[in-house]
Structure formats: C-alpha cells, structure tokens
Structure 1
Amino acid sequence: MAKRRITQETFDQVVLENIEDFDMDADEALSEAIEQFESQGVDLSNIVKAVPKASSEETMDEQTHKVLQVLESLRCHLDSAASLVEGLKLFTEQCSLGFAQRHLAAQKEAYPTILSCCRHASDDKEALSAALAALSVLTDGQPDLLDADGGNFLIGVLRAHRDDPDLTCLAARAMRHCCLKHEQNRQDLVKAGALALLTGAVARHIPRPDVVKEACAALRVMTFDDDVRVPFGHAHEHAKMIVLEHDGMRVIVEASKAHPDNPSVLSELCATLARLAVRNEFCQDVVDLGGLKFMMTLLADSLDCPDLVKQVLSALRAIAGNDDVKDAIVNAGGIEIIVMAINRHIGNAQVCEQGCAALCVLALRKPNNCKVIMESGGALAALQAMKAHQAEVTVQKQSCMLLRNLVARTRDFSQSILDMGAEALIGQALATHRDCGDVARAALRDLGCQVELRELWTGKKGSLTR
C-alpha cells in the first residue's frame, strides 16, 4: 500500500509549532516532528528534515530553507556573472545534500530559473560549467523536469563544445539524469542526435576517463526500458542504432583498451557493452574487435575488484548469446576463470548472480561446455552461492537454471549434482521464493527428483468462445 505524503509546508509548520507552543529547542522539535509523522505512516523521503530559517531578521513570519534562499538569490543576480557562478555553485551544493532538497527546489520553480542561468552563461565557460552542474543535480531523480528547451540546450552544448572535454562531461551527465526512467526524454533526445554526439564524445576524448565514463553511462541509459508509465520502449532500437549507425561497439572496445588500469571506467564500458549485445552478429563483433580477449585478460587481472568482476561477467553473459562466441569463451579458458570469480567473491550476491548466469548461458545447448563446467567445479560453486545467499531470489534463480541446463541434454551429471546437496537447496529456494517456482521445479524434474508439477488451468471449466 502506498504511503501517505505531506507537503514541506505542513512539516515545517509542525516543527515551528513544537518550538513556539511547546518550548522545545530546534533539534528536539525536529526529532519530534519526524517521529510523529513516521508513526502515522507518512513517507518523508521528499521532505527536507531541517528547521526552516527566517528569510530575514525583520520578517520572522516568513520561513524558508537554505536551498530556497539560494534559489531566490540566483533569480536576483542573473545579470551578474560573478554572483551567478557563486550562486549556481551554492545551489548545486544544496541540491547535492539529498533528493528532498532537489524536490523542494523543483516545487518552487527551480528548473526554469536554472535553464535561464544556462542561457545567460552560454558565452562564459566557467558560468556554463556551473549551470550544467546545477541542471544535472536538479534533474537527478526528477527527469520529468526536462522540457523541449532543456533538451535542445543539452544537444546544443554537446554540438557547440564537442572539443571541450569538461563541458562535454557535464552535458552527458545531465543528459543521463534526464533519461533515466523517462522513455519520452530518451526518444526525443535520440531524434535530436544524442547518440551520434555521445559516441563521438567517447571517440574524441578517449584519453579522458571522466568523459568516457559519463558518455558511456548516458549511452547505456538510452538502451534502458525502465519507464513503468509506457507499455514498451525503444531500448532495442536504440542499441541497434548505436552499433549500426554510430559504430558504437568498436568505439567502446577501443576505449576499453585505452584505460586498462581504471576499474571504474572499465566497469562502465563493460556494462555498456553488455547492453549493446542485442543481436547475434553484435556478439560476434565483440570477439572480432578483440573485446573478448581483452575481457578475459581483464577478468584474470582484476579478480580482487568485485564491481569490475560483476560487470565483466555481465558482458560475457550478454555476448554468450551467440553459440560461436560460447565456444570462443570456453576455448579461452572462460569457464575456469568464471568459476574462480564466483568462489573468490562467494559473499557478493551480484557477482554470484552474474557468474551463475554466465555459466548458465554457456551451458545452454552445449553438452561439451557442460562437461567443462562440471570438471571446473561450476555446479559446486553454484550450490555454494545458493547456500550463501538464500534470501537473494536472483542468485537462487540463476543457480537453478544453471543446474537444469547442466543435465537437460545429458543425465550423466545428475547424481554428482545431487550428491552435492542440490535437491535440498533447490527445494528450499522453491519454498522460500515464489518467483523461483518454475525454474526450481524444472531443475528438480531434470535432475530426476520427485516434484509436484501443478496444472494451473486445464481449460475444462467453461469455454473461451461465446
């Protein structure tokens, strides 16, 4: 059930009443208000939990928060370059404190103010940088704020300042925030040429890790299908456009080779690569461009970095959708190193999930690969992951699917897997996680265990036609 919400004004009024009517000090009044609303089931995630200050010493009846004071100051100094930069920096600092500050600022018409600042700052790099930073932080978690003028402004910055890495980085970050969980913004920006500008930014500024990371992150968001307000998005189409029209696969693989010692950049590049491997030939392109060899070396050299390991495993999982690439991964020693990664990070649920998922794809329709997985301890690693993360449904599902794939085309491994304790762990997953029902039953069935296969509907009671 959705939680109740209140306005900032209601919360502030209760805080002030606690101070004025009950003689509480500021901290006590604030704590009392928070406790009061939370006990009533009110969601305070969008509320600035601070005592409002008077806007001036003479007008104690007019209370406001620091972010709103800074916003008002910005409106008064749009024509002063020095004051504008300082005000934008203060606004960015306030909005960076949390979503509540950004939400409050947006309610008080901060977006048109910041967009006006962006236009006033177009001829001054320092002011434009400050304006882009403010726009980026304001739209973080609030992509609905972006309008056509804002989208055109971001496209214009990327075009006009394509040779400036700092402005390109800031514009790409703002674009990413505006596109996350917002399908219409993605489609509008793609139509305006965002994909060409972002892939061009990666290629043009390969030596700059910050630009590469931000531009790839923005490209990756363009391939998301995360807006619950639309029945379906253009994620697949955008991924194809990045690869076919803008040479995105080659650009990203080359960028990966340029930053072998930067885990955060490599994580983002691998995550983007995984989002682009949406067609059989795209998976093969990664191998042909040297991406597979690079990823295998990267995984071997970075086993102690769980975030990077997770993203490399995700990329391997994605490109293994191609049967020829499956063989290339296995021939390169991929199975052994994936099992090693799972065992090394058995306490990390995300690594276990991606590792089991990668092995699951490698085992699909490939009996010879199943043999290598068994010989390398892949089944045991999956069961250990199930045991270590009993509350993580994704780990349980991927492990069940892997175990099923290992025995789907040959029963030779069934007894060995059962001797490792698979039946009890799969049964526990079945009992604990409703979402594991189908995959867990399928795994038990193919392992030769007793399993109840329920018929949810037989079509006997009534007709579908009138």
Structure 2
Amino acid sequence: MAKRRITQETFDAAVKENMEEFEMDPDGALRDAVEQFESQGVDLSCIVKAAPTSSSEEHEVLQVLDSLRIGKDSDDVTELMADVKRFAAHCSLGFGQRYLAAQKDAYPVILSYCAKSSSEREALTTSLSALAALTDGQPDLLDADGRRLLLDVLKTHRADPSVTRRAVQAVRHCCLKHEQNRQDLVKDGVLPLLTDAVRQHSGCAELVKEASAALRVMTFDDDVRVAFGQAHEHAKSIVLQHDGLKVLIDAAKAHVDNTSILSELCATLSRLAVRNEFCQDICDLGGLKLMMTLLADSYESPELVRQVLGAIRAVAGNDDVKDAAVHVGGVQLIVIAMNRHVNNSAVCEQGCACLSVLALRKPDNCKVVMENGGALAAIQSMKAHTEAVNVQKQACMLLRNLVSRTQSCSQQILEMGAEALIAQAIKNHQDCGDVGKAALRDLGCQVEFRELWTGKHGSLSH
C-alpha cells in the first residue's frame, strides 16, 4: 500500500506547534514531529526535516534561492557564485531540500545562471554543480532548454575536464530512471560526447568515472512509466558507432591502481556485453586479461571483486570467452575471491553466478570448477547467507549446471550437504522453487514437481 504524503507546510506547522504549544526545544520538536508522522505511515522522504531558525521561519535552501532569484537579472553573475555554491550545498544535504527547491521553481533560476556563466569557467563549473545537485533524483525537471545547454557545454568546453565533469554529472542525474531524457539526449548526440570525454581526458580519474557511469545509465531500462525502452539499442550504438569498448578498456589500463574507477568501468563493460561478438571484442581488446589481473591483484577489495565478477559473468556468455576464462585460471581466482569474502553476500552471489556461466553446457569446465573447490564455495555461500535469495538462487543454478551433463559430480556434491541446503532454500524463498527443484532432480534426489494446469478436465465457466 502506498504511503501517505504531506506538504512541507504541514510538517513545519507541526514542528512549530510543538515548540509553541508544548514548549519543546527545536530539536525535540523536530524529533517528535518526525516520530508522529512516521507512526501514522507518512512518507517523509520529500520533507526537509529541520527546525526553523530564530532569524527566519523559511528553510535555508529557500532563503538562498530567494537571493539567487533577486540577483539573476544582474549583468555580473560572478558576484552571486557564493550563493550558488551554498544552494548546491543545501541540495546535497538530502532529497527533501532538492524537492522543496524544485517545488519553488529553482530549476529555471539555476538554468539561467548556467546560461549566463558560459564564458566564465569558474562560474560555469559552480552553476553546473548546482544544476547537477538539484536534478539528483528529479530527472523530470530537465526540459528542452536544459538539454540544449548541457549539450552545448559538452561541445564548447570539451577541453576543460572540470566543466565537462559537472555537465556529465548533470546528464547522468537527468537520465537515471527517465527513458525519454535518455532517448532525447542520445538522439541529439550525447553518446559521442561522453566517449570523447573519456578518450580525451583518460588521465582525469574523476571525469573518467563520471562519464563511464553516464554511459552505463544510457543502457538502463529502469523507468517504470515506459513499457519498452531503448537500452539495447543504446548499448549497441556505444559499441558499434562510438568504439565504446576500446575507450573504456584503454581507460581501465590507465588507472590500474584506482579501484573506484576500475569498479565503475567493469560495471559499464558488463552493460555493454549485450551481443556474442561484443563479448569476444572485449576479450580481444585485452578486457578479459585485465579482469583476471584485477581479480588476482585486488581481491581484498569486495566492491571491485563484485564488479569484476559481474563483468566476467557478462562476457562469458560467449562460449569461446568462457573457455578462455577457464584456461587462464579464472576459476581458481573466482573461488579464492569467494572464499576471501564469504561473508559478503554480493560477492558470493556474483561468484556463484560467474561459475554457473562458466560451467553451463561445458563438462570440461565443470571438472575444473569441481577440482578447484567451486561447489564447496557455493555450499559455504548458501550456509553463510540463508536469507539472501539471490545467493541461494545462483548457488542452486551453479550446482545444477555442474551435474546436468556431468553426473559423476553428483555424489561429491551431495556429500557436502547440498540436498538439505537446496531444500531449505526452496522452503524459504519462492524464487528458488523452480531452479532448486531442477538442481535436486539433476542431483538424483527425490523431488515432487507440481503439475501446472494443462487446460484439460473441464472448461472455464462464468
């Protein structure tokens, strides 16, 4: 059931009443108001949870916005950059501040500052930072003028990494969970601007990270308002028309010591491995070798390990890449990473999924997985994360793939206690039902399959 919503004015009135009627101090009045509304099932995610200051009852973000609104017609906008910075800082405090500012028409004000600052590098960087902060979680704010401005900035200031990074950040915020913005920006030519930013500024870590994230967002299908998006087409365009795979892999090679950037690049490569030939291209460009090196050298970083495993899982959809990954010792590295981070559910999930893909329809690979403790790592993951449905599901899929064409492995896996663990997963998690029962069946265990309705034995009646 959807939660109730209230206005900022209603919330502020409740805080004020606590202070005046019940003589509470500001912090106590605020705390009590939050508790009261949350106990009534009210969603406060869009509310600024702050007590009024003694100098003004208006929230600080709106005070700054008022100053910007008054000064936006000034010929010298650089004088107001301190206020623009303050506005961006307040928007970064939480979604409530951003939402309140947007409700009071902050977007056209900030956009006007971006437009007027186009010839002043520092002012433009500051204004774009404010735009990026305001649109975080509010992609609907972007309009045609905003699209034109962002694209013009990316074209005109492509040599400036600082300005470009802020513009790319705004693009990313405006495309997250907004299919129409993605399609409009792609149609207007944002993809080559993003790949060129990575290529031209490959040494600028923060820009590479931001542009990689923006490219990945272009491949998302996360807008619930749209039945069918263009995620696949965008991914194909990034690869085929803008050489995205080479650009990203070259960038990764330039930042082999920066785990944060490498995690981002691996995540984006995973989203681009949407066709068999793309997987092979990643391998041919040295992407698979890079992933294996990262797994060997950076296995202490769980976030990087998770993203690398996700990338290997994606490219191993190609059977030749699958064999290449096993041939260069990928199985051993994956099992080492899983054992090292057995308490991390995300790593265990990706590790099981990765081994499952490597074992799929490959009896020789199954033997390698078994010999290197892959099945045992999956069993340990199931024991460590009984409540993590995706860990249970991926582990069941791995165990099934290991025995579906290699029955000789069944007894060894059963002796590890697989049957009881799979049965428990089926009992605890509805999503594990089908794959869990299939795993039990292929392991040679007794399993009862419920027959779905076949359309026989009578007819539907009104």
1: distance between equivalents of 2:15 and 2:282?
Answer: 58
**CA positional deviation for 1:29:** 1.4
Counterpart selection for 1:329 from 321, 325, 330: 325
Asked if the contact 1:144/1:178 (under 8 Å) is kept, the reply is yes
**CA positional deviation for 1:3:** 1.0
Asked if the contact 1:129/1:167 (under 8 Å) is kept, the reply is yes
1: distance between equivalents of 2:220 and 2:460?
Answer: 36
Partner of 1:166: 162
**CA positional deviation for 1:447:** 0.7
Offset from partner CA, 1:283-337 (integer Å, 9 cap, x none): 0001111111111111100010111111111100000000000110011000110
**CA positional deviation for 1:35:** 1.5
Amino acid at match of 2:395: S
Partner of 1:13: 13
Amino acid at match of 2:65: L
Partner of 1:313: 309
2: distance between equivalents of 1:276 and 1:462?
Answer: 49
Partner of 1:379: 375
Asked if the contact 1:176/1:221 (under 8 Å) is kept, the reply is yes
2: distance between equivalents of 1:75 and 1:180?
Answer: 28
**What secondary structure is seen at the aligned counterpart in 2 of 1:5?**
coil
| TM-score in terms of structure 1 length | 0.97
Asked if the contact 2:77/2:113 (under 8 Å) is kept, the reply is no
Asked if the contact 1:158/1:197 (under 8 Å) is kept, the reply is yes
Extract unaligned runs of 5+ from structure 1: 57-62
Partner of 2:4: 4
Partner of 2:183: 187
Amino acid at match of 2:430: R
Does residue 75 of the first structure (1) align with residue 77 of the second (2)?
no
Asked if the contact 2:366/2:406 (under 8 Å) is kept, the reply is no
Partner of 2:221: 225
**CA positional deviation for 1:23:** 2.0
Identity %: 68
**CA positional deviation for 1:92:** 0.7
Counterpart selection for 2:233 from 225, 237, 257: 237
Counterpart selection for 2:353 from 335, 348, 357: 357
1: distance between equivalents of 2:345 and 2:449?
Answer: 29
Does residue 288 of the first structure (1) align with residue 262 of the second (2)?
no
Q: How many residues align?
A: 460
**What secondary structure is seen at the aligned counterpart in 2 of 1:427?**
helix
2: distance between equivalents of 1:290 and 1:32?
Answer: 58
Asked if the contact 1:274/1:314 (under 8 Å) is kept, the reply is yes
Asked if the contact 1:84/1:117 (under 8 Å) is kept, the reply is no
1: distance between equivalents of 2:313 and 2:80?
Answer: 48
Does residue 274 of the first structure (1) align with residue 273 of the second (2)?
no
Extract unaligned runs of 5+ from structure 2: none
**CA positional deviation for 1:457:** 1.4
Counterpart selection for 1:126 from 113, 122, 128: 122
2: distance between equivalents of 1:463 and 1:198?
Answer: 58
**What secondary structure is seen at the aligned counterpart in 1 of 2:229?**
coil
Offset from partner CA, 1:255-297 (integer Å, 9 cap, x none): 1111111100111111111110100000000111111111111
Asked if the contact 1:199/1:248 (under 8 Å) is kept, the reply is yes
1: distance between equivalents of 2:391 and 2:146?
Answer: 41
User: What is the Cα-based RMSD across aligned positions, in Å?
Assistant: 1.4
2: distance between equivalents of 1:43 and 1:127?
Answer: 37
Offset from partner CA, 1:108-132 (integer Å, 9 cap, x none): 1111111111111111111110111
Counterpart selection for 2:386 from 371, 385, 390: 390
Partner of 2:45: 45
1:60-209 equivalences in 2 (<5 Å): 63-78=57-72, 79=74, 80-209=76-205
**CA positional deviation for 1:22:** 2.1
**CA positional deviation for 1:54:** 6.4
2: distance between equivalents of 1:412 and 1:442?
Answer: 17
Asked if the contact 1:54/1:64 (under 8 Å) is kept, the reply is no
**What secondary structure is seen at the aligned counterpart in 2 of 1:220?**
helix
Partner of 2:31: 31
Offset from partner CA, 1:331-390 (integer Å, 9 cap, x none): 100011001110010011111111111100000110000000000000000010011111
Amino acid at match of 1:96: S
**CA positional deviation for 1:149:** 1.0
1: distance between equivalents of 2:312 and 2:419?
Answer: 28
Partner of 2:420: 424
**CA positional deviation for 1:32:** 1.7
Asked if the contact 1:339/1:376 (under 8 Å) is kept, the reply is yes
Amino acid at match of 1:385: S
Assess, with a 3 A threshold, how the Cα gap between structure 1 residues 461 and 9 changes in structure 2: closer, same or farther: farther
Asked if the contact 1:84/1:127 (under 8 Å) is kept, the reply is no
Amino acid at match of 2:100: L
Asked if the contact 1:172/1:215 (under 8 Å) is kept, the reply is yes
**What secondary structure is seen at the aligned counterpart in 1 of 2:407?**
coil
